[in-house]
Chain A
Amino acid sequence: MTKFTVNGNPVEFLMDPATPLLWALREAAGLTGTKFGCGAGLCGACTVHVDGKATRSCQVTIADLEGTFVTTIEGLSDNRDHPLQQAWIAAQVPQCGYCQSGMIMAAAALLKDKPNPSDEDINAAMTNICRCGTYPRIRRAIRMAAAGRVDSGVPGPEIDAGEAAARVPALKG
C-alpha cells in the first residue's frame, strides 16, 4: 500500500512500492522543490518531514510510508511565511539554491524540537551539504528565526496586484 498524506492532501501513488519517496514526489506529485543530490542519504538535498521528523526522502520507499504525514518545502508554509523562510530571505542565505529546500526542512524540524538550539544542536541537526558554502548564513538565519518572528520585507507569492501597487508606487494596481 502506498497511501499517505502529502502537504495535507491524501494521496495514493500508483508506482512501484519500492520507489523512494523522493522520486514519487518529483515525478508523480510534481513537487520538484525536493532535490536529488546523491541517492545515498549523504547530502540531505532531499530532506522532507515524515510525521514531523527530518527524513532523507531518497532513503525511504513509498511502501514504508503508509499512513504517514509527509511535508515538503512546498507545504512548509502557505505564503512563504515560515519564520525560517523569512529569516532565509533576510539573511540572503541561498547561492545556487539547490540544497536550500533540504536545509530549510532540516532546520524547521530542528526548531520544532529545540526552539532555542545551541551551536552544537545546529551542528548535530544540520548535516546537509551545501557546495556553495552558505553555512555561516544558514547558522545566522536559524538564530534569527529562533530569536523571534522575522519579516524580510519581501511579500509572498500570493500578493495581488492591488496590494503590490499599494506597497510600490511605481506599479499600476
Chain B
Amino acid sequence: MPPPSRPSGRLRAGLTRRNLLIAAVAGAGLAVGWGLWPRARRFNWAAGEGEALLNAYVKIAADGRVTVAVAQAEMGQGIWSALAQIVADELGADWRTVAVEPAPLGPDYANPGLALGPATGLTEPMRSLVLGAGRQLGRLLEFQITGGSNSVRGWEMPLRVAGAAARVMLVKAAARRWDVDWTECDTAGGFVTYKANRLPFHAIIGAVDPADAPDDPPLRTRRLLAGEPVMRLDVPGKVDGSARFGIDVRLPGLAYAAIRQAPAGARLDSCDCPPPPRGLTWVDGPDFIACVGDSWFAAQRHLATAKPRWTAVDNAPGPWLEAAVKAGLQSGGKGFAPTGQIGKVVREDGDVAGKLAGPGVVTADYSLPFLAHACLEPMTATARITDDGAEIWAPTQSASLAARAVAAALDIDADDVVVHPTLIGGGFGRKVEGDACAQAAIIAQRVGRPVQLIWSREEDFGHDMYRPAVAARLHGSATPAGITAWNCAIAVPDVGTAFAGRNVGSLMGRPSAGAGAIEGAVELPYAIPNCRVSHVLADCTAPLGFWRSVGHSFTGFIVERFVDELALAAKADPGAFRLAMLKDRPRHAAVLRTVLEMGGPLGRDEGEAGQPVTARGIALVESFGSIVAQIAEVVVPPQGRPQVTRVWAAVDCGRVINPDTVTAQIEGGIIYGLSAALFGRISFAQGVVEQDNFHAYPLITMADCPEIEVEIIASDADPGGIGEPGTPPIAPAVANALAAATGKRWQSLPLFPA
C-alpha cells in the first residue's frame, strides 16, 4: 500500500482518457524507460520510476507489479481489493502482483454509480438514459464519493474495459515481437501467452504502443479472478500496525490540534482562554475553539481551561424532537385513522379506504431513535497550507466534498486543494462530510504549521450528523394468503436535503416530503392490492446525515415488523405468509426459501415453563440492488435480558466479485444493525447530546455477538450493493423473534434501552 503522503496534482477537465494516454506515452520507443518521460505534466495519476501507465486505471512496474488506481474510499468494505480484482481479471494479472493506489481527483475518477438510486425502478430506455446522464454529471462535477453501496455497481463495467484495454495493448506488443496474430494471444497469471510461448508483462511494457489503446476492447467471456475469494490487499498491513489511517499521517513540523465545538444547539459567542503554557496556542474558528501544540494529549488537556460562552439557538435540540416526529402522525389531536391519509401520499394502489373501513384492522405505532455512527477512528484531518493552496490528508468518503469544504473555509478555489485520501477507520456515511477537513485547514492557516486535528470521542459523539428519529403508524388487514390492505405513514425529516444543503449548497432546494425520504417503504417486494404510503415531513434542528443503509435503516424495521404483525393477526406462518405475496418475485422468494432452509422453522420452540424461551424471527429487505433475508434466534430467560444467539442470512447481490468480502459485509452489517436494534439511542437535552462515550452508547462486543451464517445465492444478474444491505433486516428479525417468544409487540427501538 502506498504511504498516504504520495503527492498528486490535479487533472483539468476536458481531457479524454484516450488523449491522456497519448499525453502520457506519446513518443513511443522510449527505450530509456517510462520514468524519464514527463508524463505527469497533464495526467494527474503519477507513474513512478520505470512504471508504464497504460491508462487512467492501470500501470505496470518494471518488476511486474500491477497497480490499479481506485477512486472509491476503503473503509473496510474491501473496495480497494474488489475494484483491483475486476481490473486484474480482465488484464490477466497474477493477484499476488496487484497493488492499489487511491486515485486523485479528476473526471476519470468520478463516481459512475451516482445515478443508480434515481434509476432504481425505471425501465429501459429511461434506466440507461438516467444512468448515462448521472455518469456524465459525475464526470462534469468530478464528483468522487463513496456511499450508497454503488462502488462495484458503478465501476464494474468501466474497470473491466480499462483492464481489457490494457490487456489488448500488452497482447499487441507481444504479438509484434512474436510476429503472430494478436487475436490468437491471451493473458494469464501475469503473462501474455501464444500457444506454448509466454512473456511476462514486465518484459513487454517497454514495447507497448499507445496507438494500440482500443476504444472498445473485447471483454473476457470467462472470468479468471472475479468471483474468487482472493485475499484482500489491505489485510496484511492491518495485522502488523503498518496500515496508515487518517490519524496516522505524519508530516515534518506537524502540530496536533484538539477541539471543542459549540453544542448542537448553540453558537460560540466568545471565549475566555487563559494564556497558554509554552508550546500551546489557542485558535478560535467558526463555532469552535482549538488548542494546538506538539502533543495532542497536552492540547486536549489544556482545552479544559477555556471558558467558552455559548448562545443557545432557537429550537435547540431536545426531547421535543422525538415528540414532534410522533406528533406529525396526528391531526386535530387524533392519530391518523385506518381510512385516513396524512402527509404526502407517495403511493396509492387500489381501494385502501374501502378495505380498511371495517373490523379486523391491525394498527401499529413504531418509533426509532436518533443514532450516531460511532466510527472507531474519530473525526480527524491533517492540513498543510501551501503557496498556491492547501493539501489535506483525511479519512474521507468524498475527496470532492473534502476539497469543497477546505476551499470554502479558506476562501480559495477548490481546484487549489489537493486531497490525499487515507484508509478510513470506519465511515458508515459519517466521513462523507468535510467538517473536520475545513477545521484542520483553518487551524493550520492560523498557526502557520501543518496541523493534525483529532476530535476527542466526546466531540465525535456530540457532533455527529445523526440518523434521524422516526415515527410510523400503519393500518392493515390480512388473510393467511397475504396482506389485503396497507396504509402506512412515516414521519421523518428530509435527510438528503440536510446533507446537500450543508455540502453542496445552492444545488439543492428546501426540505420536502417525498418517496426518497422513506426509501424501502414505497416499492415493497410483496404484492399488496390496496396500498397507500405517505411521508410526513418532520422538522429537525439536530444535524442529520447518512447512516449505513440510510432510509432502509428504519423502513426495514417498520415494514417487516408490520408484515409479521399482520401474519400473526391472520394466524399465518410468517415465512409462508411472505412467500404467498412473492409469487411474481422469484429472486426474493428464492432468498426467503434459502434462509428458511438455513434457520427455520420460525416462531417459538416448545419448552418447559420457567425455562428460557427460544424463538426465531425473519425479515426480508431489498436495498441498494441486493436482496437479503435474515432469521434471528433469541433466547429469552425468565429474568434478565434476552440474548440474540444466532443469525442466518441469505443474500442475492447479483454477480459477485469476492464472495468472502460479501460474507464479511453481511456479517458486519448484521452486527452494526444489531447494536442499534438492541441499544442504540442518541438523545438531546438543552441542545447537548447526552451520550458522550461508549459507556453511554453501548455496542455489540464479542460476548454479545451471535453466531452468523451467510449464504450467497449464485446469480448472473448485474451486481447489487453489499456494504449496506446486511444492516436493515436484523432489527425486524430480532423484534419478530422477541414477539414470537414473548407475545409483546416490540414496536420501539432500541429494544433494550439503557
Listed in ascending order, the chain A residues whose CB lies under 8 Å from chain B are 15-16, 19-20, 22-23, 27, 30-40, 42-43, 45, 72-74, 76-77, 80, 85, 88-89, 92-101, 104, 122-124, 126-139, 152-154, 157, 161, 165, 167-172
Task: Say whether A131 contacts B376, CB under 8 Å.
Answer: yes
Q: Which of B96, B660, B693, B702 contacts A92 (CB 8 A)?
A: B660
Task: Say whether B242 contacts A157, CB under 8 Å.
Answer: yes
**Given A72-B241, A73-B241, A171-B97; A98-B425 close (CB under 8 Å):** yes
Which chain A residue shows the least CB distance to B241? A33
**Given A94-B235, A169-B189; A129-B76 close (CB under 8 Å):** no
Give the CA-CA distance A135 to B701 in the complex, in Å: 7
Task: Say whether B376 contacts A96, CB under 8 Å.
Answer: yes
Task: Say whether A27 contacts B296, CB under 8 Å.
Answer: yes
Identify which of B243-251, B402-410, B503-511 touches chain A. Answer: B243-251
Task: Say whether B64 contacts A172, CB under 8 Å.
Answer: yes
Task: Say whether A94 contacts B76, CB under 8 Å.
Answer: yes
Task: Say whether A131 contacts B426, CB under 8 Å.
Answer: yes
Q: Any chain A CB within 8 A of the CB of B609?
A: no
Task: Say whether B671 contacts A133, CB under 8 Å.
Answer: yes
Within 8 A of A (CB), among B192-245: 200-203, 231-232, 234-245
Give the CA-CA distance A132 to B699 in the complex, in Å: 11
* Smallest beta-carbon distance B62→chain A, Å: 7
Give the CA-CA distance A153 to B235 in the complex, in Å: 13
Across the interface, which residues of B come within 8 angstroms of A123, CB to CB? 702-703
* Smallest beta-carbon distance A118→chain B, Å: 13
Q: Any chain A CB within 8 A of the CB of B22?
A: no
Across the interface, which residues of A come within 8 angstroms of B76, CB to CB? 94-97, 132
Give the CA-CA distance A26 to B664 in the complex, in Å: 30
Task: Say whether B232 contacts A92, CB under 8 Å.
Answer: yes
**Given A45-B376, A123-B703, A135-B700; A157-B240 close (CB under 8 Å):** yes
Give the CA-CA distance A154 to B244 in the complex, in Å: 19
Which chain A residue shows the least CB distance to B243? A97
Beyond the given A92-B231, A170-B97, please list 9 additional residue pairs across the A-B interface where CB-CB is below 8 A: A89-B235, A89-B239, A98-B375, A126-B701, A127-B701, A134-B664, A157-B236, A169-B189, A170-B191
Across the interface, which residues of B come within 8 angstroms of A97, CB to CB? 76, 234-235, 237-238, 243, 245, 423, 425
Instruction: Give the most central of B64, B660, B669: most A CB within 10 Å.
Output: B64
8 closest cross-chain pairs (CB), A and B: A33-B241, A170-B190, A133-B671, A98-B425, A96-B76, A95-B76, A97-B238, A73-B241
Give the CA-CA distance A16 to B238 in the complex, in Å: 30
* Smallest beta-carbon distance B99→chain A, Å: 12
Which chain A residue shows the least CB distance to B672? A133
Within 8 A of A (CB), among B80-121: 93-94, 96-97
Task: Say whether A98 contacts B667, CB under 8 Å.
Answer: no
Instruction: Give the most central of B297, B375, B700: most A CB within 10 Å.
Output: B297
Task: Say whether B200 contacts A170, CB under 8 Å.
Answer: yes
Give the CA-CA distance A152 to B236 in the complex, in Å: 10
* Smallest beta-carbon distance B303→chain A, Å: 12
Listed in ascending order, the chain B residues whose CB lies under 8 Å from chain A are 62-65, 75-78, 93-94, 96-97, 189-191, 200-203, 231-232, 234-245, 247-248, 250, 256, 294-298, 300, 374-378, 423-428, 454, 456-457, 660, 664-665, 667-672, 693-695, 699-703, 705, 707-708
Across the interface, which residues of B come within 8 angstroms of A139, CB to CB? 702
Task: Say whether A135 contacts B702, CB under 8 Å.
Answer: yes
Across the interface, which residues of B come within 8 angstroms of A80, CB to CB? 236, 239-240
Q: Which of A15, A39, A134 contacts B457 (CB 8 A)?
A: A39
Across the interface, which residues of B come within 8 angstroms of A22, CB to CB? 297
* Smallest beta-carbon distance B237→chain A, Å: 8
Q: 21 A-B residue contacts at CB 8 Å?
A: A19-B295, A35-B247, A38-B694, A39-B456, A42-B693, A73-B241, A92-B231, A92-B660, A94-B234, A95-B78, A95-B664, A95-B668, A96-B76, A96-B427, A98-B375, A130-B376, A131-B428, A133-B705, A169-B190, A170-B96, A170-B189
* Smallest beta-carbon distance B700→chain A, Å: 7
Across the interface, which residues of A come within 8 angstroms of B96, CB to CB? 167-168, 170
Task: Say whether A38 contacts B457, CB under 8 Å.
Answer: yes
* Smallest beta-carbon distance B501→chain A, Å: 28
Give the CA-CA distance A77 to B428 in the complex, in Å: 32
Task: Say whether B378 contacts A37, CB under 8 Å.
Answer: yes
Across the interface, which residues of A come within 8 angstroms of B669, CB to CB? 133
Across the interface, which residues of B come within 8 angstroms of A88, CB to CB? 235, 239
Which chain A residue shows the least CB distance to B78? A95
* Smallest beta-carbon distance A154→chain B, Å: 5
Which chain A residue shows the least CB distance to B699? A129
Give the CA-CA distance A5 to B686 in the complex, in Å: 48
* Smallest beta-carbon distance A88→chain B, Å: 4
Task: Say whether A137 contacts B664, CB under 8 Å.
Answer: yes
Task: Say whether B454 contacts A98, CB under 8 Å.
Answer: no
Give the CA-CA distance A128 to B694 in the complex, in Å: 11
* Smallest beta-carbon distance A99→chain B, Å: 5
Which chain B residue shows the least CB distance to A79? B240
Task: Say whether B239 contacts A104, CB under 8 Å.
Answer: yes
* Smallest beta-carbon distance A23→chain B, Å: 4
Across the interface, which residues of B come within 8 angstroms of A101, CB to CB? 241
Task: Say whether B236 contacts A154, CB under 8 Å.
Answer: yes
* Smallest beta-carbon distance B424→chain A, Å: 6
Give the CA-CA distance A56 to B16 in the complex, in Å: 52
Instruction: Give the most central of A131, A137, A157, A167: most B CB within 10 Å.
Output: A131
Task: Say whether A92 contacts B701, CB under 8 Å.
Answer: no
Which chain A residue shows the least CB distance to B703? A123
Task: Say whether A132 contacts B668, CB under 8 Å.
Answer: yes
* Smallest beta-carbon distance A114→chain B, Å: 15
Task: Say whether A131 contacts B699, CB under 8 Å.
Answer: yes
Give the CA-CA distance A143 to B238 in the complex, in Å: 19
Q: Which of B78, B202, B667 contacts A133 (CB 8 A)?
A: B667
Task: Say whether A170 contacts B94, CB under 8 Å.
Answer: yes
* Smallest beta-carbon distance A76→chain B, Å: 8
Across the interface, which residues of B come within 8 angstroms of A136, CB to CB? 667, 705, 707-708
Task: Say whether A95 contacts B693, CB under 8 Å.
Answer: no
Task: Say whether A129 contacts B701, CB under 8 Å.
Answer: yes
Task: Say whether A35 contacts B377, CB under 8 Å.
Answer: yes
Across the interface, which residues of A come within 8 angstroms of B248, CB to CB? 32
**Given A72-B241, A135-B671; A23-B295 close (CB under 8 Å):** yes
Task: Say whether A170 contacts B668, CB under 8 Å.
Answer: no
Q: Which of B236, B295, B297, B693 contacts A89 (CB 8 A)?
A: B236
Across the interface, which residues of B come within 8 angstroms of A132, CB to CB? 76, 426, 668, 671-672
Instruction: Give the most central of B256, B700, B702: most A CB within 10 Å.
Output: B702
**Given A131-B374, A172-B63, A172-B200; A33-B191 close (CB under 8 Å):** no
Q: Which of A73, A122, A161, A170 contacts B201 (CB 8 A)?
A: A170
* Smallest beta-carbon distance A31→chain B, Å: 7
Task: Say whether B239 contacts A94, CB under 8 Å.
Answer: yes
* Smallest beta-carbon distance B186→chain A, Å: 14
Across the interface, which residues of A come within 8 angstroms of B660, CB to CB? 92
**Given A43-B376, A92-B664, A95-B77; A85-B240 close (CB under 8 Å):** yes
